[in-house]
Structures are given as C-alpha cells and as structure tokens.
Structure 1
Amino acid sequence: MKYSVKEILHLEVSPALGCTEPVAIALATAAAASVIPDKRPDKIEVWVDPNIYKNGLAVIIPGTGGLNGLDTAAALGALYGDPALGLEVLEPLDEESAKEACKYKDKNPVTVNLLENRHGIYVRALLTFGSDHVETTIEGVHDNIISLTLNGEPVKDSTLVKKQQAQKADVSKLEDFIKTLSLDDLVDMINDLDEQDFTFLKEGITYNMRLADYGLKHGSGLAVGATFEKLARMKILNRDMILAARTITSAASDARMGGIKLPAMSSGGSGNHGLTAILPIYAVSEFVDCSEKTMLEAIALSHLVTAYVKAQTGRLSAVCGCSVAAGAGATAGITYLMGGTPPQMAGAITNLTEDLAGIICDGAKCGCALKLATAAGTAVQAALFAIHGVNVHSTDGIIGSSPEQTMQNIGTLSTQGMIDTDRTILKIMLEKHFAGTEKLKRP
C-alpha cells in the first residue's frame, strides 16, 4: 500500500499536550473511566512496558502545578481526562482538579506495575468500580486503544476502539511502506503538498513557537533557552543561526517539560520530536533568503525523514530520538531550506548521525531541553558542513554507504545493540525512584 505525503503527515504529526508517555497512561484510564462515567473507581491498576515507565517517571504533567508520577497520570486520566481528545486527554485539567486527584490517591489504591520483559509501547489499565471491572489496553502507538472491556466483555459500539484500531493499522502499514523509500523519494514527495498541507504545517509552527515564547519569557523548566538568550544579550555568545535554533528549540522544551499547559505539534509520536523537527528550520529561515513555501516544504521533509528513522528505531528506544530521528529530519530540512541538493542532504544526515548517534534516552524530564539544544545546533552545523563539502566517509563507524543505510544502522543500533543499555538506564532510574512516592510492583 502506498501513502501520500498528506496521509503521512496526518498519521505522524498531531498536537499533543504533555509528555506522551504519562499521557498514554492517562488516556488508558480515561477511556476505562468513560464506561462508568457516574462513579469514581475504587481502585486503579496500570501495567506498562519499560520505555513508557522510563519516559514518564520524572516528567511534569501539564496543568498540575508541578506534579509528576505515573500513578498521578493514572488518577488524573481516570477522574478528569477526556478520552475523545486523544493525546490532549488532559486538556480539561486544572490545578484544583490536580489537588483532588492527589487526595484521591491518598484514599484509594493507584498502582503502577512494570512489565520488565515487554517490548514496544504497552499500557493496560484496570479500574475497579465495586463489583465491576473495566479494562483498557493501548499498544504499538501512544493513542492506539486496542481493547475496552467491562467485566471481561468488549464494550459494544466503542468509537474509541474502532477509531484507534483503524489508525494503528494505518501506522503499521505506513512504517512498512516508508522503509521501502529512499531519501530521493522523500524529497520528491514534497512536490505533492497542497494548500491544506501548508496550512497544517504552519499550525505546527504556531503550536511550537507558542511554547518557545513561553519558555523564553518565563524561564520554565531548566531555563536553557532563556539562558541562551541572556548570554546573547550579554554578548558572551554571538547571535547566529546555530544559536537561534538552539535557543527557541530548547525554550520550547523548557516549557513543555516544565509542565506548561500548551500543546506541542508532535512528530513520530513525540512532542519533543516535533519541536526538534520544526523549530530549527523556522529559526534558520530568519537568516536565509527563502520563501514561506520553501520553509514549509523543508518542515514537511523534516517530518518525513523523522518518520523514516522512527520506522527503523521503533517509537521508543535507548537512543534519544530527538537527536537521531528528529535531528536527521531537521538537518535534511535545513539543507533543503538553504538550497542544498539531495546528495548534500544525505551528507548532512550522515554528519549529524556521526555526531549524535550515541546520545541515550534516559527518560523525559526538564533536562531534555539540553539534548534538544544539542540536536538543534548540530542539525544546523551538519547542514552547513554538507553544503560546504564536509562529509563523513562511509568507512567511519556506523555510517553506511547511503543515507538510507545510515538510518537503518541507527535502527539496528537502537533495536539490537542497545537493549542492555536500555535495561541499565532503567535500573539506575529505578534505584533512585523505587523507594519514592510511586507505587511500583514488580511482576
């Protein structure tokens, strides 16, 4: 089955409020709670795969005034989430309802169970209402609800399940399809963009720049972006396109990881990927002579390359996808923006891969802003180097003889070579948090 650029953008790019891992948990419990809407559950139990656990462990949940925790996300979803909103399930939330959710946790069991040998995105939520039990399962994609049952029987006419099962089938087929493409194919696809697509791409800039502006103004999270801006004002750093890309991308991550209740336009199932895929290109467009149309085409290419790499690595892995997936997308887009050729885009991707391939993913948290700053700046640098004839050789390390082979090697590294690394990262995180407030049960 073939997919158009419009279909790929529709499946891979969407608004998401908050880190998508705790959001997936909130979506699962919200879906279960919607089956018996006039009651609060007596007990909430959740089972998750290691990467959902790792990525959702420390990140702040938007609209809560600074709360984090997978059990908190589970309670918030069950009590106040709207499952019809998908990855924006926590939009109805405010700080008062967050306080109520904390009171609920004090009186009712909310447990998070780690399925240590489970691979791929997986969330199962079981809500108990007296003698009734409602169960939801999400698998493969953060908002893919594959089942919803009441007392062991499928909930009839569940539009949530039907809608998400159809989307999951499309995403799975899309990943198979996009793996067959070349970089040249991806570049060719942007010729099919229409006005509706350009409007959608502009919405992505609006979403993500809103986060960046907030982060710069308020110094959210680690205030990485605000600090870059301060250093530029002090003339300690020069205002160039690399600094501009690093500043707005990290500022947006500061706001998002700091729990600000503003959605990001995600890419490949991740809000931070979306920030990295879009904002460096937007920043560079202010420094080069290009039309808005060219900038939007560059962003579309960035999303396509990001989707290609994510199809190789999987949705979650031990490797920082913002660096190697969205970073690859961004550098390809920046090269296109500067008038570069497909061979130069290939060189930019290999340059970035050689630079950033070893960056680990140790969960979502405020410190992600530092990694996004690195990815954004390196995306610009890799593009500039490629355009000026500096290209990593195929004999170097994991670099392949083509950009496609290089991105496939990243997939192999992520899915095979760093399995033990991922376990070690999670082990270190568990040692820090096992005795904390989260109620974690080992199977």
Structure 2
Amino acid sequence: MSYTVKDVLRLEVAPALGCTEPVAVALCAAAAVSLLPGTSFDSLDVWVDPNIYKNGLAVSIPGTGGLSGLDTAAALGAAGGDPALRLEVLSTLTDESLERAKELLRSGAVRVHLLADRRGLHVRAEARADGHVAQAVIEEHHDQIVSLTLDGAPVADSPLCRRGDAGKAGVGALESWLKGLPLDKLVELVDELDDEDLAFLEDGVRHNMALADYGLKHGPGLGVGKTFERLVRQKLMRKDMFVAARMLTSAAADARMDGVRLPAMSSAGSGNHGLTAILPIWAVKDYVECDRRTALSAIGLSHIITAYVKAHTGRLSAVCGCSVAAGAGAAAGVAFLLGGDVHHVAGAIKNLMEDLAGVICDGAKAGCALKLATAAGTAVQAALFSLHGVKVKPTDGIIAESPEQTMRNVGALSTEGMIETDRTILNIMLEKKITGLAY
C-alpha cells in the first residue's frame, strides 16, 4: 500500500488542546461515558501504561486554572468532554462541567491505575452506572480508540473507533510504509504538496504562533521565551536566527505546558513535537530570502521526518521525542529552507542525532520549554553546519553511514536500550509524589 503527502499530513498532523497524554485519558473517559444509557455514572476507573502516567503527572490542563493529573483529566473528559473532537476533546469544557469534575474527584468516583509492566501506548477506561459497564480502549496512538464495549458486547460501527481512515489501515500502516522509504523519497514527497496542503500547513503555523505570541506577551510557565526576549532587549543576547528559533519555540511551550486554552498543531501525536517541527523554521525564514511555498514546504518536510523518526522510536519512550524526532524534522526543514539538497538534509539529521540523542523524557511539565529551546537552537545549528560541510562521521557512536540507519539506531536506543532508564525515571517521579514533594 502506498501513501501520499496528503495522507501523511492527515494522519500525523492535527490540532490538539492540551498535552496529549492527559488528553488521551480524557478522550478515553469521555468515550466510555458516552456509551452509558444516561448522562451520569457511579464510578470511573482508568488504566494507563507507564509513559502515559509519566507524562500526565505534572502538566497543567487547559481551562482548569492550573489543575493537573490524570485523574483530573479523566474526570474532565467524563464530565464535559466531547469524544468526537478527539484531541480537542476538552474544548467543550464549561464552568459547570469543571465543577462537576471537581466533585467527582472529591467523592473518589474517579480512579487511575498504573499498568507498570505495560509497553506501548495504552489507555483503558471503564465507567459504571445503574448496573451497566462501558469500556473504551486507546492503543498505539493518542486518539486511536480501538475498542468500545457496553456490558461486554462490542459497540458496532461507532464513529469513535479509528482503526482506519478512507480505506487505509491507519497510522500504523502509514508508519510501516514510511519506514521503508529512503531519505530521498521522503524529501520528494514535498513536491506533491498542493494549495490545500499548503493552506493546512499555514493553519498549523497560525495555531503555534498564537501560543508563541501568548508566551512572549504573558510569560506563563517558566517564562523561558519571555526571558529570551528580555535578554535581547537588555542586549545581553543578540537576536540571530538561533535565538529567534529558541525564543518562539520555548514561548509556545511555556504557554502550552501552563494550560493556556489555545490548541497546538501537533506532529506525530504530540503538540510539543508540533511546536518544535514548525516554529524554528518559521523563525529562520525571516533571516533568509524565501517565498511562502518554500517556507511551508520546509515545514511539510519537517512533519514527514518527525513522523519517520517516531515510526522507529514509538510514540512514547525514555528519549525526548521533541529533541530527537521533531528536532530532526526541524533540522531537515531548516536545511531545505536554506537551499540544501538531500545530502545536506541527511547531514543535518545526523548532526542533530549526535547532539541530542541522549536527552531523556522525564514527563510533560513546564520545564519542557527548556528542552524545546535546546532542540530548536540545535536544529538550526545542525542544518547550518551541514550546509558548511560539518557532518558527523559514521564511525561515531550510534551514527551510521546513512541517515535512515541512524534513525533506526535511535529507534533501537529508545525502544530497547532505555527500558530500565524509563523505569528509573518513573520511580523517581513516583517517589516525589509519595513524599509530597511534587504534584
């Protein structure tokens, strides 16, 4: 089965309101509750894999005044979420549904359970009411509902189930197809972009720039982006393309991680990936001569490379995907934007991988803005170095002769080499929760 660039964009790029791990829990909970005969329920239990659990502990949920936690996300989804909106499930929250969610939490009606040995993205929600039991299951991808049952019987033909799209086998089959392509074919996909695709990519820019603008104006979260801007104003930093990329990307992450009620255009299932895949390129375009199509095509390539790397690493792992996946996408996009050919794109990807492959993911939180700033600046550096002949040698560490094998090596590092690292990260975070030092 073959795909087009339009398929890649449709299946891998979408608006997402809030961090996608708690959003996945909210979506699963909303889907389960929607199956019950009435509008209320007696209890809601949710089971999640370790990476969903890790990424949902500390990040703020949009529209809640700073509330966090997977139990909160589940209660919000159940109380007022619309599962038909998928990753924007919480956009329908009202003051009334927020109060109802808080009451559910106070009464102990919502419980979250960690599946400590589960590998791969998994969320299961089970809602009970008046003797009925409704269950929803999400697997592999944040909005991929693979099972809906009511009282043990499958709910047939529900539009919420997403095993495929337009006759294709969904994201999993797309990723298998992408993994079989060499880099030159991935770059050639950009040539297929039509006016509709360019308009969609520009819509993604608008979404993510709205978050960046909010972050620069208000300084939410850690205020990393606004601090960059202040340092520039004080002439302690010079605003070149490196700093511009870091400023925009971190400002957007500040806003998103603080729960600002603005959607991000996600990439490969992650809003922060979307920020990293788009905003460094949009910042760099102001420093070079380029037209709209070239800038948006560079962003299209960034999404494609991000999806390619994530196909190897998996959706969630111990490695920071914003650094190694979206960072690689941004590096490829910047190299393309600056007039580089496929060899320059390959060099940019390998430079980025050598630099950032060891960055860990310790959950979604305000501090992600620092990592996104690093990824954005390093992406620009990796591209410029490649264009000037600096390319990591294949004898170095995990770097291979080809960019394809390099990305496969990073996938092996993520999925096989850092399993114990992931457990250790989660154990540290759980200890903080138990001792009351955080969350």
Deviation at 1:94, TM superposition (A): 3.8
Which residue number in structure 1 is paired with residue 295 of structure 2?
295
Name the residue aligned to 1:20.
20
Instruction: Give the aligned residue type for 1:188.
Output: E
SS at match of 2:266: strand
Match of 1:126, SS state, is strand
1:219 maps to: 219
In the alignment, which residue of structure 2 is the partner of 1:92? 92
For the residues of structure 2 that align with 1:115 and 1:438, how far apart are their CA atoms?
A: 21
Post-superposition Cα deviations, 1:337-369, rounded to whole Å, max 9, x if no partner, equal 000111111111111111101000000001000
Q: Distance in 2 between matches of 1:375 and 1:223?
A: 17
CA deviation after TM superposition for structure 1 residue 100, in Å: 2.9
Aligned positions of 1:295-374 closer than 5 A: 295-374=295-374
Deviations 1:149-199 (A, max 9, x none): 1111122442212xx121493211111100111111111111111000000
Secondary structure at the counterpart of residue 390 of structure 2 = coil
Question: SS of the residue aligned with 2:170?
Answer: helix
| TM-score of the two chains, using structure 2 as the length reference | 0.97
Confirm or deny: 8 A CA contact 1:70 1:438 kept in the other structure: no
How far off is 1:436 after superposition?
5.4
1:260-286, CA deviations, whole angstroms, 9 ceiling, x for partnerless residues? Answer: 011000000000000000000000000
Deviation at 1:88, TM superposition (A): 0.2
- Counterpart position of 1:145: 145
Give matches, 1:165-204, under 5 Å.
Answer: 165-167=163-165, 169-204=169-204
Deviation at 1:37, TM superposition (A): 6.1
Alignment of 1:393-404 (within 5 A): 393-404=393-404
Distance in structure 2 (CA, Å) of the matches to 1:303 and 1:436: 39
1:310-332 Cα offsets, whole Å, 9 max, x none, are: 00100111000000000000000
- Compute the TM-score of the two structures, normalised by the length of structure 1: 0.96
Structure 2 residue aligned with 1:265: 265
Matches within 5 A, 1:121-132: 121-132=121-132
Tell which deviates more after alignment, 87-96 or 334-343: 87-96
Q: Residue type matched to 2:164 in 1?
A: A
Q: Is residue 49–residue 115 contact of structure 1 (8 Å, CA) maintained in 2?
A: yes
Q: Is the 8 A contact 1:65 1:95 kept in 2?
A: no
CA distance in 1, matches of 2:156, 2:6: 32
Instruction: Rate the CA distance shift 1:142–1:316 in 2: closer, same or farther, 3 A.
Output: same
Distance 2:336 2:249 in 1: 19
- Alpha-carbon distance in structure 2 between the residues aligned to 1:106 and 1:270: 30
The 10-residue stretch of structure 1 (147-156 or 279-288) with the greater mean CA deviation from structure 2: 147-156
Mapped contact 2:314–2:415 kept (Cα < 8 A): yes
Give the aligned partner of residue 159 of structure 1.
Answer: 159
The one-letter code sitting in structure 1 at the alignment partner of 2:329 is G
Structure 1 partner of 2:413:
413
In structure 2, give the amino acid aligned to 1:220. Answer: P
> How much has 1:148 moved relative to structure 2?
1.1
Q: Which runs of 5+ in 1 are unaligned?
A: none
Q: Distance in 2 between matches of 1:364 and 1:291?
A: 35
Aligned to 1:119: 119
2:5 corresponds in structure 1 to 5
Check 1:215–1:148 CA distance in 2 against 1; reply closer, same or farther (3 A cut). Answer: same
Deviation at 1:435, TM superposition (A): 5.5
2:310 aligned partner, one-letter code: K
Partner SS for 1:61: coil
Between the aligned residues of both structures, percent identity stands at 63
Query: CA offset at residue 95 of structure 1?
Result: 4.8
Specify whether residues 296 and 436 from structure 1 end up closer, same or farther in structure 2 by C-alpha distance, changes over 3 A only: same
CA pair 155-99 structure 1, distance change in 2 beyond 3 A: same
Q: 1:437 Cα shift?
A: 12
Stretch of structure 1 that moved more, 129-138 or 309-318: 129-138
Letter in 1 for 2:253: S
Asked if the contact 1:112/1:438 (under 8 Å) is kept, the reply is no
Q: Deviations over 1:66-88 (max 9, x none)?
A: 00011000100001000010100
Provide the secondary structure at the position in 2 that maps to 1:267.
coil
Q: Give 5+ residue unaligned stretches, structure 2.
A: none
**Does 2:136 match 1:103?**
no
Q: Identify if the C-alpha distance between structure 1 residues 326 and 407 changes in structure 2 by more than 3 Å, giving closer, same or farther.
A: same
TM-aligned CA distance change 1:218 to 1:355, over 3 Å: same
AA matched with 2:405 = Q
Q: Alignment partner of 2:246: what SS?
A: helix
Quote the residue 1:380 is aligned against.
Answer: 380
Pairs within 5 Å for 1:238-249: 238-249=238-249
Q: Name the aligned partner's letter for residue 118 of structure 1.
A: R
Alignment of 1:41-52 (within 5 A): 41-52=41-52
Residue 135 (1) aligns with residue 135 (2): yes
